[in-house]
Amino acid sequence: MPQFKQFNPPAQGEPIRLVDGKLNVPDHPIIPFIEGDGTGPDIWRASQRVFDAAVEKVYGGRRKIAWYEVYAGEKAFNLFQEWLPEDTLTALTEYIVSIKGPLTTPVGGGIRSLNVALRQELDLYVCQRPVRYFQGVPSPVKHPELVDMVIFRENSEDIYAGVEWAEGTPEVKKVIEFLQKEMGVKKIRFPETSGIGIKPVSREGTERLVRAAIEYALRHKRKSVTLVHKGNIMKFTEGAFKNWGYELAEREYADKTFTWAQYDRIKAERGQEAADAAQKEAVAAGKLIIKDVIADAFLQQVLTRPAEYDVIATMNLNGDYISDALAAQVGGIGIAPGANINYVTGHAVFEATHGTAPKYAGLDKVNPGSVILSGVMMFEYMGWQEAADAITRALERTIADKVVTYDFARLMEGAKEVKTSEFADAIIANL
Ligand SMILES: NC(=O)C1=CN([C@@H]2O[C@H](COP(=O)(O)OP(=O)(O)OC[C@H]3O[C@@H](n4cnc5c(N)ncnc54)[C@H](OP(=O)(O)O)[C@@H]3O)[C@@H](O)[C@H]2O)C=CC1
Ligand SMILES: O=C(O)CCC(=O)C(=O)O
Ligand SMILES: [Mg+2]
């Protein structure tokens, strides 16, 4: 039993464990949750009711979650004068599976991102964000149903590592001097007034992310994994990501994949026809295609030919942009779920793609779909597939009935606009 200093787990319930690489989920698992800042409390309250109702409906009392509230962000600061109390990290570590609402990060100063800190502390190296269309959701494109992608965003390095120095400080002066004098760097355009950020991208970090994406694609019989990068410009970080990704696929999954690096080699040796034939043969044999695309081209192609993309593996910043862009394409960030996962230790923190939407805080207004669908991902991860399916079906039915929150209502004809809590009521009624 771990030692907690400020807040304790519920008296009832048992921890989820990882046994021989597999999650062992008891019928009454203790699951820590962080309510979140801004609209977080509204969304969380609604989502928690949906989760409990679905579990009750599907398992009839045999299974029940023992929720354990832990704190981060403004609520933690108000209660304990700490943004991220140690007990929270202990709980997320001990109980393995958890779920959170969004947390505020000030721009340009103040605390660094607590979301990024949680991912780094627990080494949750995959940010997994599925993007699919739900029938009836208003979308800005003609064929949103062609979007069915799962983003694997590297979550532990890149420019998000937080290695940066502010303009005008002695530290940045030292870094710039080092770069100029010791490394012969001549290309810093305005050295006297620059801030500096460092972008670490490693072979290990890339390999574990791409491995997770390939494993997922093979498990779910997906067609391709696309490495999205800006390797033409950032050759030793984003370009290396692409090369390491291909090398990993060819080394560890040689009999299950066909890569565009192989395609290029065949083309160089025997011509395009031979390369096309080899790829066709690989597809016919059910092999997973590993390909790559430059990030800007990717962002236009997901709009013009989304059916060509399936599982996406990319670095941290690209993945952040891509997540919101794809979410918008299928009808908005209000129903974009996600998970931060370490596939080796089993640790997973489920959370929406969006942030705290502060202008709507406390209004019982925004869409809780994103956290509800993050809960669906959590139930799938726990092996509680029946609860996951029941919630998905009820959500689909509610949207088909045109009972929706403001974000969908403003774009739909004949919709009934409801509050966050009422949307949850409607889903529960449809379970
Ligand atoms: N993982 C996390 O905890 C994350 C935290 N953040 C943090 O959140 C804060 C606010 O960030 P911001 O850039 O405004 O981005 P947000 O994602 O919080 O909000 C941007 C816009 O997205 C729409 N939106 C967000 N959530 C919902 C929802 N549940 N239902 C319907 N629409 C929604 C709203 O659009 P509209 O105005 O059109 O109604 C909103 O104004 C920042 O401090 C940021 O750092 C950001 C991302 C992730
Ligand atoms: O940590 C934050 O405030 C932003 C995080 C974010 O945008 C994301 O994870 O998609
Ligand atoms: Mg984001």
**Are the C-beta atoms of residues 229 and 239 closer than 8 Å to each other?**
yes
The answer, yes or no, to whether residue 55 has pLDDT greater than 90, is yes
* Burial (Cβ within 10 Å: 0-12, 13-18, ≥19) of residue 373: buried
Distance CA 115, CA 320 (A): 13
Identify whether residues 320 and 279 lie together within a single domain: yes
> Is 20 an active-site residue?
no
Identify whether residues 391 and 292 lie together within a single domain: no
Mean pLDDT on 70-93: 96
The answer, yes or no, to whether residue 171 has pLDDT greater than 90, is yes
The answer, yes or no, to whether residue 254 has pLDDT greater than 90, is yes
Name the residue among 342, 343, 370 with its Cα closest to residue 118. 342
pLDDT band at 338 (very low <50, low <70, confident <90, very high): very high
355 annotated binding-site participant: yes
Identify whether residues 206 and 322 lie together within a single domain: yes
Q: Which of 115, 151, 152 to mutate to test the pocket of ligand 2 (most atoms within 8 A of CB)?
A: 115
pLDDT band at 332 (very low <50, low <70, confident <90, very high): confident
Identify whether residues 323 and 340 lie together within a single domain: no
380-423 pLDDT, tens digit per residue, is 999 999 999 999 999 999 999 999 999 999 999 999 999 999 99
Nearest alpha carbon, ligand 1 atom 11: 355
Mean pLDDT on 97-123: 92
Q: Is 40 in the pocket of ligand 1 (CB under 6 A)?
A: no
What is the pLDDT at residue 107? 86
The answer, yes or no, to whether residue 110 has pLDDT greater than 90, is no
CA of 119 to the centre of ligand 1 (A): 19
Q: Is residue 101 part of a domain?
A: yes
The answer, yes or no, to whether residue 106 has pLDDT greater than 90, is no
% of the chain exceeding 90 in pLDDT: 96
The domain boundary, picked from 330, 357, 387, lies at: 330
Mean pLDDT on 117-137: 96
For the chain, what is the radius of gyration of the CA atoms? 23
Identify whether residues 111 and 185 lie together within a single domain: no
174-191 pLDDT, tens digit per residue, is 999 999 999 999 999 999
What is the pLDDT at residue 426? 98
Q: Is residue 246 part of a domain?
A: yes
> Residue 74 is part of which domain span?
1-128+335-430
Identify whether residues 37 and 148 lie together within a single domain: no
Instruction: Give the number of domains in the chain.
Output: 3
The answer, yes or no, to whether residue 1 has pLDDT greater than 80, is no
In Å, how far are 136, 299, 362 from 407, measured between CA atoms?
Answer: 13, 23, 16
Mean pLDDT on 136-154: 95
The domain boundary, picked from 308, 330, 352, lies at: 330
What is the pLDDT at residue 408? 96
Q: Is residue 307 part of a domain?
A: yes
Identify whether residues 243 and 366 lie together within a single domain: no
What is the pLDDT at residue 108? 82
Distance CA 48, CA 149 (A): 27
The domain boundary, picked from 330, 359, 378, lies at: 330
Identify whether residues 184 and 270 lie together within a single domain: no
Identify whether residues 146 and 270 lie together within a single domain: yes
Q: Is residue 133 part of a domain?
A: no
357 annotated binding-site participant: yes
In Å, how far are 167, 178, 232 from 186, measured between CA atoms?
Answer: 18, 11, 21
% of the chain exceeding 70 in pLDDT: 100
Q: Is 331 in the pocket of ligand 1 (CB under 6 A)?
A: no
Residues 6+ apart with CB under 8 A from 176: 188, 191, 194, 196
Q: Is residue 417 part of a domain?
A: yes
**Are the C-beta atoms of residues 415 and 55 closer than 8 Å to each other?**
no
ipTM of model over 0.85: yes
| pTM of the full structure | 0.97
Q: Is 154 in the pocket of ligand 2 (CB under 6 A)?
A: no
Identify whether residues 206 and 188 lie together within a single domain: no
Q: Is 339 in the pocket of ligand 2 (CB under 6 A)?
A: no
The answer, yes or no, to whether residue 282 has pLDDT greater than 90, is yes
Identify whether residues 392 and 409 lie together within a single domain: yes
What is the pLDDT at residue 3? 87
Q: Is residue 134 part of a domain?
A: no
Identify whether residues 228 and 317 lie together within a single domain: yes
Distance CA 378, CA 276 (A): 40
The answer, yes or no, to whether residue 111 has pLDDT greater than 90, is no
Quote the strand ranges of 17-125, DSSP E: 17-19, 22-24, 30-34, 66-69, 97-100
Sign of CA dihedral 368, 373, 379, 385: positive
**CATH number of residue 321's parent domain:** 3.40.718.10
Exactly one of 235, 276, 296, 416 is catalytic; name it.
296
